[in-house]
Structure 1
């Protein structure tokens, strides 16, 4: 665990939400089970497995020591989430952690819930995806599938999108998404549809065509979406959803599925589209294998001749 302690001892006090240490990438032997995130003013340690009392005490002491150096006089707020046997447990290590609070990223504001399950409300590894959307959304109608808390929608509208259609089965997540728009002073331009996508293709298609379609599904959600089986059903709809010259953002966070899976799906299910580029991940998310890391592929519908 020395690499994690070294990261804590040298980290700066961030202002934006971000990952600080990514042991899951396999570049720090002995730390593969650990991650450290900053959701200011809260530090979040995650261990994929059980954490001993000794580990908790040592890491809390290390965080307290660094906090005293980089934010003298400010209390340490830290929690630990352990994930094992298909469940998660969250423990406050120090200070106080609100039920929800607002964090920032590139000037945008998002509400997070750090003690509510494994998904906190903002996926930090998708930061470059949000930057790409903000930079390329100008003037487009955008379809945001599996919208979750609608961070992509906020980025698109900040980038000048004409309209964003957000679709997700979870009304609670969309409610947080509506709050995220309000937090950023966005009071129009977004639709929020709490629908099952696979029974709503007609409505989604009628609201198009779109200049940008974002697909960021869960890799495995029992009874809802399994990437190996269901991603093809998404990709084959793209030609009907995109206008000529439009783009699609295909996202996949499944370490066991390589980038070639997405490229093969495009070739088989939507050969009209041209793969353009794979977006980089934030540098802190470096991985021993690019196929294990988050994959975000940009594809383009050719313009009319």
Structure 2
């Protein structure tokens, strides 16, 4: 038996109880192998409904390794999953779409549907972006939002494909607003809404984060010296009962820079001001080099200085399909009761 198959068998056995729980709650999207922590750095294997998505970030798998892993997983789950292999080890982490190792069957690349917390989500093995359309490590946060959003207005910042917004709508939120810069991301979010027709219609705002959140928070939009700002949607000042802030590690625009390592405060301050009194702000940091204790202290200090002290702070860890040997997973989530 190969070293990879041994590691994969152990990972599947460790997930048996979790998978039974997930299937019971209506979830068939989860990580089956988290290579950096389970014996094969740079390899991830995820299930998205009827699809098995294998991705490599450091070194390609051989065809035999890939097909052996696929066969092992299908047998363990008793599911004939459609295989998609995306090699992201070359060319600045772009997906190799030439499929030199394994050309996916056409059915595997069709528009498919996966499920989480009983909701339907669009699944595509390949699309214009790099990442899957649903980030699985945020599942617990989406579940928390679904459970705690009844009657509340919800703002989903850096919404990506609007999974958090969909969870809020399923939790009977009074209003759901998804904000993201990318039109393609919001288009998938709208698809997700249409895949769940019994839920209320969500709001979608395509905008750079900084002008949008500063308007919602009642703050001026600063113009850099000698530079004319691009156009942006005009928004009224508004506070929300529940706000989720899940920014990328780094991004730059004419309005500002997203930098989770050096300047989380510039993202956090207006998000705090856009959160209503007695509201909840869920903030995330996915940068592995940032320690939870240090970041938590920074967040609490920033809130206190802004006059929005935190009454209670809860740490929400990813589920067990994202194991962490040192107890410090890259994705860190804080639930702040203001």
* Partner residue in 2 for 1:256: 289
* Partner residue in 1 for 2:57: 48
* Partner residue in 1 for 2:332: 295
* Partner residue in 1 for 2:64: 57
* Partner residue in 2 for 1:77: 82
* Partner residue in 1 for 2:228: none
* Partner residue in 2 for 1:22: 34
Is structure 2 residue 299 aligned with structure 1 residue 246? no
Cα 1:175–1:188 shift into 2, 3 Å: same
Quick check: 1:112–1:121 contact (8 Å CA) kept in 2? yes
User: Partner of 1:284: helix, strand, or coil?
Assistant: coil
Cα 1:179–1:230 shift into 2, 3 Å: farther
More strand by share: 1
Alpha-carbon deviation of 1:8? 7.9
Which of 159, 178, 185 does residue 166 from structure 1 map onto?
A: 178
Cα 1:40–1:188 shift into 2, 3 Å: closer
Aligned equivalents of 2:158 and 2:12: distance in 1?
A: 38
* Partner residue in 1 for 2:248: 218
Aligned equivalents of 2:117 and 2:88: distance in 1?
A: 29
Cα 1:147–1:70 shift into 2, 3 Å: closer
* Partner residue in 2 for 1:154: 166
Aligned equivalents of 1:112 and 1:68: distance in 2?
A: 22
Alpha-carbon deviation of 1:257? 1.1
Indicate the larger mover: 143-152 or 181-190. 181-190
Q: Which structure 1 segments of 5+ residues have no match?
A: none
Which of 143, 162, 178 does residue 155 from structure 2 map onto?
A: 143
User: Partner of 2:159: helix, strand, or coil?
Assistant: coil
Cα 1:140–1:236 shift into 2, 3 Å: same
User: Partner of 2:264: helix, strand, or coil?
Assistant: helix
Indicate the larger mover: 280-289 or 87-96. 87-96
Aligned equivalents of 1:200 and 1:125: distance in 2?
A: 26
Quick check: 1:100–1:113 contact (8 Å CA) kept in 2? yes
Quick check: 2:213–2:274 contact (8 Å CA) kept in 1? no
Cα 1:79–1:175 shift into 2, 3 Å: same
Alpha-carbon deviation of 1:243? 1.7
What's the Cα RMSD here? 2.5
Cα 1:66–1:257 shift into 2, 3 Å: closer
Alpha-carbon deviation of 1:145? 0.4
Alpha-carbon deviation of 1:120? 1.3
Give deviations 1:248-272, integer Å, cap 9, x for gaps.
1011111111113432332332111
Indicate the larger mover: 128-137 or 90-99. 90-99
Alpha-carbon deviation of 1:71? 4.3
Q: Which structure 2 segments of 5+ residues have no match?
A: 218-235
* Partner residue in 1 for 2:117: 106
Quick check: 1:212–1:246 contact (8 Å CA) kept in 2? yes
* Partner residue in 1 for 2:209: 197
Quick check: 1:60–1:94 contact (8 Å CA) kept in 2? no
TM-score scaled to structure 1, two decimals? 0.86
TM-score scaled to structure 2, two decimals? 0.78
